[in-house]
Amino acid sequence: MGLFVLRRLLTLAATLAGASALVFLVLEILPGNAAQVLLGPDAAPEAVAALTTQLGLDQPALQRYLHWVAGMLSGDLGTSYAYGTPVAELVWERLALTVPLAVMAMAIATVLAVAAGVYAASRHNRWGDVGVMGLAQLGIAIPNFWFAILLILLFSVKLQWFSAGGFPGWTEDAGGGVLPALQALLLPAIALAVVQAAILARITRSAVLDVLREDFVRTARAKGLSRRAALWGHVLRNAMIPVVTVMGLQFANLLAGTIVVENVFYLPGLGRLIFQSIANRDLIVVRNCVMLLAAMVVVVNAVVDLLYAVIDPRVKAGAA
């Protein structure tokens, strides 16, 4: 087990190194000048040149890349060009919203998907199966921003059960609290969860059907085990490996979806910060936020790899 974990950690480090180089390179080749954007189109060339030097944008790309990586390793992410505050503070404030939103969305998607997928598999080729898969196909086709707008129109404008946007904060000092904060995140989480739940439901159904055809399931049924007990007690555990795989892959899509959904609901999260920083040409914030999202995706997939060893010891044996 120790060797298995060590290999995954080395792979994690190599992937993060490659991701940092790719993120830096992509943002480096974008057109425009951050100093020019900050000073405005009518700024004097001398002022633009002075600010470019002050921000360190005139240094060689390799030197700036190494300085950025060293700063990330030490916890110093630099200072925002537009806000004038440390990037670490900006990111930390936004993570307090984005991480709970992503976790809530994934939890909703997982519960809905597993329940729907198992139900569809147990009603294979019957109306229940057709209905669930039809809804799943519809969920995949619906853009999350459009579904978010529908949720606002129904639950905020029509029924007035939820606010149309904004975030009250986690503390009562800021006029919020845990319950109001979770209530403000519920509609955005549902908007993010729909596509993920639809995809996971289809994967769950296929995986459960495959396991139901295995010999050990027929043997258990022949010994008198009910279909329900076999389904939930034996089949589901063995069917979870492809589901967990897709969950790890879909987490990246979920994080990307927060950029749009946070703007629809006017939530001060990491996605909205990225959107605003792109508009302001605040590349140091964009670079660190994108790298953080990439790191979250890589870490989640590494955790998924470790979960394989728990769900199916054959994975660990094969890796060894």
pLDDT of residue 189: 93
User: How confident is the prediction for the chain on average, in pLDDT?
Assistant: 82
Structure-token match 């729909």, residue found:
194
Q: Which two tokens stand for residue 58?
A: 């005139």
Checking if the pLDDT of 296 tops 80, the result is yes
Mean pLDDT lowest among 147-156, 195-204, 205-214: 205-214
pLDDT value for 150: 92
Tokens at residue 288, please? Answer: 């660190």
- What's the sign of the alpha-carbon dihedral 158, 160, 162, 168? positive
* Predicted pLDDT at 187: 92
pTM: 0.80
Stretch (H or E) spanning 302: helix 283-311
Mean pLDDT of 154-167: 85
Residue 105 has pLDDT above 90, yes or no: yes
* 203, burial (CB in 10 Å: exposed 0-12, middle 13-18, buried 19+): buried
pLDDT of residue 257: 83
pLDDT tops 80 at residue 249: no
Domain over 88-317 is classified CATH 3.40.50.620: no
The lowest-confidence range among 22-26, 118-122, 201-205, 316-320 is: 316-320
For residue 314, pLDDT beyond 70: no
pLDDT at 124: 84
Cβ neighbours around 170 below 10 Å, total: 16
pLDDT in tens, 53-81: 877 777 788 888 888 888 888 888 888 87
Residue 84's Cβ-count burial label (10 Å; 0-12, 13-18, 19+) is exposed
**Residue 198: its pLDDT value, please?**
92
Q: Residue 128 above 80 pLDDT?
A: yes
Domain boundaries, the chain: 1-86, 88-317
d(CA 27, CA 35): 15
Where does the pLDDT of residue 153 fall: very low under 50, low under 70, confident under 90, or very high at 90 and above?
Answer: very high
Mean pLDDT across 106-130: 89
Q: What percent of the chain has pLDDT over 90?
A: 10
pLDDT at residue number 1: 60
- The confidence band for 156, taking pLDDT boundaries of 50, 70 and 90, is confident
Residue 260 confidence (pLDDT): 87
Q: What percent of the chain has pLDDT over 70?
A: 88
Say if CB 170 and CB 177 are below 8 A apart. yes
**Residue 162: its pLDDT value, please?**
85
The pLDDT of residue 315 is 54
pLDDT at 316 over 70: no
pLDDT in tens, 250-279: 877 788 788 889 888 988 888 888 888 888
- Mean pLDDT across the stretch 23-40? 74
